[in-house]
Structures are given as C-alpha cells and as structure tokens.
Structure 1
C-alpha cells in the first residue's frame, strides 16, 4: 500500500481546501492509498473536507505570513519570525523528520512548507509541492531587502523549493518562470447547494442570500449599519446585532461552507485561492456575484482577480465601502453587471494525480 503524507500550511483555510480536494480525488481513484495529514489546521476542518479516513498529526512550523487582518500583512513581525525560523531551521526540520521516520510515507506532498520539504529531502523521501505560489515568492515581495539576514532566509527557502522533485502550480498561479513548474488546472472541491434546506433556516421572504467569506481570519464588520434590502439575507461568521433579523451566524446553520457558497447570490471575500476557485466552478449557473476586498500588495491578486473577472460579475471594494449607503451602492453596481461567457473549469486535482511520480506503482 502506498502512503502519502500531506503537509498543509495553517496560513488561512485556502491551502487546506486545495490539499483536501487532491486527497478526495486520490481516495476516489486509489482507495488503497494510505493518507496522513500533517498540519496545524484543526482536525475538524480537515475532516469536514474529506470523504474518507486519514491519519492526523498536529505538527508544523509553517506560518506563511503573519497578518494584521484578513488582507493586511504584518511585514515587520513576519520578517522577524522568518529570521527566528532560519536560526532554528534544523531543529524544526528534525521535529518533522522524527515523525516522517515513524510513519514512513512514500511521498511527501507539501502545501507549501519548506521545512517539511527539507525534512523529506534529508530522509530521501520523494517530494512534491502543490500551491499557486511558494513562500519564497511571498517573502521576496514583502520581506527581502538588502540585509544579509533576509538574503540568507530567502536563499534557504529557494534552495529547498528548487530541490523538490515535482512542483505543481494550479491555475491561477504566480509564475516562477524557471522551467520546473508543472502548470495544471485549478484545484478545488465542487460546491453543491441544498438551497431548499437552507431556506427553512432563514426568515420567510428570503429571495437572495449574501455570504461573507474572508478566509477564516477575524475581520470585524459594521453590521449594525449595513443596508436593509428587501429579500436579502446575509450569512456571517461574527456576532450579530440583536436588531438585525436579516443576518444569520454561519456556525448556527447545519450546512457546510461549501454548501453555503453554492447557495448564495452575493459573496464578500478577499483575493484568496480556495474561495475564488470554488466560485469559478459554479459560475456556469450564472447566479453568484462577487465583491472582493482591495488587496493590491498581495502577489496573487492580479492573477486571481483576472481569473474570477472572466467568470462572474466582479467588483473590488475598499474596507470603508462595507457599510451603510456605500455597501448599497456597491450592490447596485454589481447587479448592473452582466454575467460573462462561461469558461470551463478543468479538474486540476485529477491532472495532478495522473502526473504524480510513483503513484501508479501502487
């Protein structure tokens, strides 16, 4: 029996969504493959996304970037934390080597921890990475300067990523242009709506549903002053003012996040891989319209926004527009936009497992 270990960064939920979509395809087409998941994401989150059994190991040093909010990177503290990681690099690698020695995977698939990849390299375990970017690219954009320390961190990460056996980059991705990346279609699970069941949990007269999906990081909204629009009901992940009967808490509903995405008419999100690609897969139904927070500094943003603009009515919004009349104006602008022509969404997860070296040997 072949054994695959997935190392998943805990920087938001999007990387977990990508990895779980790959695991689900593997479980369908290679049911005898053993799956281990090594991550600081919660077991409950991983289990909510997977369709079969897996072994779970709450281990990992990959923090990605520290954040002030869902859209603002904490550059100073991120640079410091990477320097601290660099100084104890081998200690962190040894922690993961100890686990890998114990569980003995045939392949380590990282999304996208360089520590995990280095641990596998040192144990001569075959490696693959799967993500629309790597942390060296993000570090270069925010933290790399003329200082010798930051140059050393960047070079260390670069050397590990370059030693990886296979580098899969799902669309839309930040290109490396180094000749090594394997471009594949977007990776995500297919959202499936259960609208009739959802409507039984919402007030009578609900004709439109709005969903706030900002990637699992706290982002307080001024819900008290949101416009009241006849028939529109919002689903959010934070405390709701007692006066608002047109807003519900997501955690109080019996549906998964993917079901809510498939059921909504409007979504407020941010540039982020997981939700963008889930939206793209249901664009063919010409139902969902997207408001995305401005995030001009994030390296993925131009690639993500172009990808989604080609598929759904889409507007960018500043944080200050998410309240009162400003939000109402954005909604009206969004409603005036036509749905673009439907573009196909191929199955990148299936493309990956068809090309994963060693898998066919199982």
Structure 2
C-alpha cells in the first residue's frame, strides 16, 4: 500500500502560522516516518526549514492573504476589502481550479493553517481536509465587514469552506469559533528553545548580568526609533538588522546567528505584538513579555487573557514604546512572580487526530475505521 501524503497549506500572513504548523508536522513525521509532506506557502523554503525539521517538498504559492497590513499592528481595511471582493468575484471557478490542483497532488489529507480555499477545493475533489489555527479568516471578516452590504455572500462562502472540513483544530489559546460545528480544541502549540545565554554574552562581549530584551514583531514588521531611545544601563536591545539602526545598547538579531527559538529561550524579556506564535512560545519557554496591543484585532483578547494566566506579562502603550520609556515597565515585569510554565501539549494532540486519516493509508491502522480519529481511542 502506498504511503500517506499530507498536503499542507501554511499562510504567509506573518510567521505565526508556521510556528503553529511546524511542531505538528515534526511530531507527525516522528510518529509516521513514511509520511510524505508537501507544503504550499508564500514563505520561502529556507524560512520553512528553520521550523520544519521533517522532510518536505515546497510548493511556492499562496491561497490566502489574511489581511493587508499597514504594519504589524494596523490592518488596511480598504485594501483588504478590495482583495476579498476580488478573490470572491469568481469564487466557483477558483474552487474548481483548486480542486483540480489538489486532485493532481493525490494527497491523503489536506491540512490548512488557515486558508479556506484549499478546504473548499478538497471538499469538491472528495479529499478529506482539516483546518488548524487559533483563528479563522471568516470570523475576522465578520468582525471587520459584517455590516457591509456586499459582505454576506463572501462570508457564507468562507464559512462553508471552514465548516465543510472534517475538523477544525482550535488551538489554545484561540477565538471562540462558536459558529463552526466541528471544532476540536487542542492544547497550546509551541516549540521550545535552548538557553544559550553564555554564547550570546561571548559574542556580544557583554557582562553576564546584562539584561537582554528581544524586540520581535514577527513576519510583519514595525520599525521602532531605537536610535532615539534614552540610555538604559544594564539592558541590551536585540533588534532586526533590517531596521539599520546603530545604538550603543543595541545589537542585531541576525548578528547572533541563533534561531529565534533559542533567542526566545535565552533573553530576559521580549517586546511584541499579540500574536499566537510569540505569545505561546514566550509562555512555554518562561520568557516575560511586554506587549503592544494591535489596533482593532479581535484575536488579541483571548491571547492576552491566556498570557496573563500563564506568563509574566504587561501592556506597553505605543507612545511609551516609541519614546523608549521601557525601563520602569521592564522592572515591574521582572518583579512579577512567575506562574507555572504551561506544557505545549497541542502538537501531540493535533498529530493524534490527524493520524486517524494518515495511518489508514499506510496500513498501520488495521482494525480501525479509515479516516475516523475516534477509532484510535
């Protein structure tokens, strides 16, 4: 019997979708070494490989844009509306093309994080499909455009694609998704880094007691005027090289030649926007976090509520962040009592569910109902 083939579509709207999908794919590969994985994404193969240790074939392309962004914290609502209206103007034809494409790939299962066109295409092609994420674009679409006269038809098409999947694996923390009928909640998904602080200190030539603060806004950037920040004795800022900023107390992330995960596991704090990948990984690595709220982003409330229970964290205002008034906020953050570090159980839980479809294609699920994860129990 031919081995199982998993076709995965990973959104390139930032890096958080890759952070969610990669631990699940890595777990699946260990559990089912014969599994073939194809990954379609707008992210380059090199970026995918920094997170996905399992072997995979990269298919360059993207079927979702999420939302057009002004920057990491602000949505361009007008441009996003135009993009959605264009995408759905010939929706049935798009679904048909996607169905033919997926049929030619001959996957055992289609998994998306969190595009909905592949789900609609898989349903038309008769291929099982599963969505996995902390959010879905339909719920955000209803939030942003629910009162627009042109929106109901588009929302129905989006919702039908998500609700037609065999499952929606809702990661913890995640939005409610109360209007979807096949939601299955799984635990936090996060990769763990290695504490390499001594290596960082050696490369920077810094004292071991110097505080390291990582400034990371994910794949959608938000440059900050670090060069104008006041002196912060005893603190070193780790910032993206792309900002092209020189500051006596700042060093570039890229110059350290370490993975973002190892950096996250080594620093004293991270400054970020609310996003699943950074929040879940900071908490599961026990790293304190200062966050800048996103403008009108409905997912952030559930992320912040969860982080407040599972990590040392605090909000920072945009005015204070841009001015570099951070020392007092960081001192308060470091004085917080650390809560128990959460266990990232979600990758194993999600993999267990997906194996219900994949193992049947390898012959390793004898006696089970093919494609039924409940038969694993």
TM-score range, shorter chain: over 0.9
Instruction: Provide the residue aligned with 1:239 in structure 2.
Output: 243
| Maintained 8 Å contact 1:280/1:345 | no
Matched, 1:355 2:359: no
| Maintained 8 Å contact 1:107/1:126 | yes
Match of 1:81 among 80, 83, 91: 83
Matched, 1:141 2:143: yes
Match of 2:104 among 97, 102, 105: 102
1:240 to partner: Cα distance: 4.3
Instruction: Provide the residue aligned with 1:208 in structure 2.
Output: 211
Instruction: Provide the residue aligned with 2:157 in structure 1.
Output: 156
Question: Secondary structure of the equivalent of 1:358?
Answer: helix
- Describe the superposition over 1:259-296 as per-residue Cα deviations: whole angstroms up to 9, x where unpaired: 1111110100011001111112112xxxx321100226
- Describe the superposition over 1:297-349 as per-residue Cα deviations: whole angstroms up to 9, x where unpaired: 2111111011111122211112211144622332233233332x305324111
Question: Secondary structure of the equivalent of 1:306?
Answer: helix
1:52 to partner: Cα distance: 2.7
Instruction: Provide the residue aligned with 2:279 in structure 1.
Output: 276
Higher mean Cα deviation, 27-36 or 318-327?
318-327
Match of 2:263 among 247, 257, 260: 260
User: Aligned equivalents of 1:45 and 1:96: distance in 2?
Assistant: 25
| Maintained 8 Å contact 1:61/1:92 | no
| Maintained 8 Å contact 1:89/1:115 | no
| Maintained 8 Å contact 1:60/1:96 | no
User: Aligned equivalents of 1:108 and 1:34: distance in 2?
Assistant: 12
| Maintained 8 Å contact 2:282/2:288 | no
RMSD: 1.7
Question: Secondary structure of the equivalent of 2:212?
Answer: strand
Q: Flag structure 2 segments of 5+ consecutive residues without an equivalent.
A: 363-377
Higher mean Cα deviation, 344-353 or 76-85?
344-353
| Maintained 8 Å contact 2:285/2:341 | no
Higher mean Cα deviation, 219-228 or 37-46?
219-228
Matched, 1:28 2:27: no
Instruction: Provide the residue aligned with 2:71 in structure 1.
Output: 69
Q: How many residues of Structure 1 are paired with residues of Structure 2 in the alignment?
A: 355
- The TM-score with structure 1 as length reference comes to 0.93
Q: Flag structure 1 segments of 5+ consecutive residues without an equivalent.
A: none
Question: Secondary structure of the equivalent of 1:56?
Answer: strand
Higher mean Cα deviation, 34-43 or 204-213?
204-213
1:145 to partner: Cα distance: 1.6
| Maintained 8 Å contact 2:69/2:76 | yes
Report the CA distance shift for 1:346/1:251 in structure 2 as closer, same or farther (over 3 A). Answer: closer
Question: Secondary structure of the equivalent of 1:209?
Answer: strand
Report the CA distance shift for 1:78/1:296 in structure 2 as closer, same or farther (over 3 A). Answer: closer
User: Aligned equivalents of 1:40 and 1:329: distance in 2?
Assistant: 40
| Maintained 8 Å contact 2:291/2:314 | yes
Instruction: Provide the residue aligned with 2:319 in structure 1.
Output: 320
User: Aligned equivalents of 1:40 and 1:241: distance in 2?
Assistant: 28
| Maintained 8 Å contact 1:18/1:187 | yes
User: Aligned equivalents of 2:341 and 2:88: distance in 1?
Assistant: 43
Runs of at least 4 residues off by over 6 Å = none
1:94 to partner: Cα distance: 4.2
User: Aligned equivalents of 2:168 and 2:6: distance in 1?
Assistant: 16
1:210 to partner: Cα distance: 0.6
User: Aligned equivalents of 1:171 and 1:137: distance in 2?
Assistant: 17
User: Aligned equivalents of 1:289 and 1:276: distance in 2?
Assistant: 10
Report the CA distance shift for 1:201/1:88 in structure 2 as closer, same or farther (over 3 A). Answer: farther
Higher mean Cα deviation, 138-147 or 97-106?
97-106
User: Aligned equivalents of 1:239 and 1:344: distance in 2?
Assistant: 33
